Structure 1
């Protein structure tokens, strides 16, 4: 990847200081913030399914609720975070608040035991994530040239995912050294979260997102989020999101089938994130060339294959193939969706537009987790995965048709010079 060591000038959407083929240094700094934060969050995520089901003793339906909470509660504040960054013109400090809240929740995991207390801590963590994500992605979109957005988000997600690879490895090492030592995992996780906040506060430039006259007002927010350009992408994001089974569920399916032992459970997350790390930049560049909507839909084809392998491939082979397919899925969808949406709204509404897409995905995945947990209880794990695979296979052609013209719209009618009226 090519990285400019100079930041952009003070203009809200100027990219003159970023040479063609390069991305801004701000993108890399934000990637480092996400890297340290993901070391922290993935340490917790890697042990959470076993911690909740084996240590705390939650049943599979209760775990489905908690997994849905982990996926979906951030939706409550995503649009608020995006709008706060757009309206105040200082998205960095909205992101700082979100990262700080998540960091505090890591330490709060130490004393909690009951379901109510754990729910409160997970809610705080996810609210922090919801608050920070859209302002951070808006900073990335503002720092990178329009035709390099896929690459810029790919670079950020690659650094982010490097932390996601290291986090489960650290959790695995800590649990190997101290069996059942979940407290050690939570303590080290907190330390990495604090480092991430420090990098954001000290090194990421505090750039205003737009001149005061162009900042987003409530009426403009409503027009942008309900406009024709966003309708189909948001519909597709929701349709595919509600058919996305959480990683933890798929990994528990593999464990139920004796494809992986409990001691190696965190390594499934490592494998997924390692593949994501390798593919994030290449697939981001591919999305810039062939169309971000096309790559987004293709990523869900990889997810469909992952379902089929998890449900039907015997032995340890599934433990290698499923994480690899999930890594490809995330590389083709996560940053690509943000890059796609960022070009469908005005710069003064960029954070809010990205937040709207993320909110739809988060709510859809919350519904998916709760529904899949119930389906598991009724039909069993393998049958539940097969049902989701069948539904996704039906939804994919519909999604492809809905977004077939979206890429042309975003390229043919760029919005960087548009302001949203009050």
Structure 2
């Protein structure tokens, strides 16, 4: 067995997502399993270099996990010829500059989304990466969730017949930060810092819809800030300048329509924090993070509207659970492994910076739709 080392500069791992999902549950998890099997007796061993602005936080993380390398000097890390891959999980406002430096340094890049604050910046990164000839990928984790993998199995198997509509509900109550700590950082609610639920979630909805049902061809949205006053990590009040809820209608290639509500000001009355209901001529499904339930047309009851009588049955009990039929790994880790195989084995990989730009495009058009009160077509992007 030959062990090959890949050195990955991981910028932003002191943040919640960068630490929990990318460092611990992806890169360190790959190390715990003995590395990534490339076949032919080769194993790829990821060696993370923790990068960030807070020296004490980086040192503490490195000590906690027995890691040797960390730095507050991104330029020096990128100038090091031993660094192979740059990963970015910073706040959105810092992403374009860092990714540009990494691309110009000849590093393969893998990044969280949105890839930029606007479409011009996102397309600029994609073009720069293509011209540099480096490998590049964008995190699109939700299509690797067990519930959505089961949903894709149904789509690929023709379960739905003609797909008519998709309805999505996402969100939960994020505390204001005064009498209970907020579950999300305060920059999420400041537009000047790249915050807002549209720029956060519409890129997710773009790739979920694109991968499962077809390209988004049109969008209309209503965007608002339901909770205008919040308290930051130091207990200081501030005005929320970014949107915390968005109600979108997405027209899909092929004629289906998707409606997705996204909110950080909603209390959960559903089985999971995100759920998608798909209705087709032959059957329907409801998929969440892990579970997926179906109702085929041959098993569909015949409800009759009668508000004078109480329901004598549970509508939820009329659906069947889709079996796992597989072992589902952490979605972030699964995509990391695919990206690393793309880098080292040239295996196919289409979740690149152009795919990331489509998400930024949809967010940008969604915000314009709300501001101008009209529908926008979504042009197909190319380089």
TM-score of the two chains, using structure 2 as the length reference:
0.25
Name the structure, 1 or 2, with higher relative contact order (CA <8 Å, separation 6+). 1
If the length of structure 1 is used for normalisation, what is the TM-score? 0.24
* Structure of greater Rg: 2
- Decide which structure has greater helix share: 1
| Greater per-residue strand proportion | 2
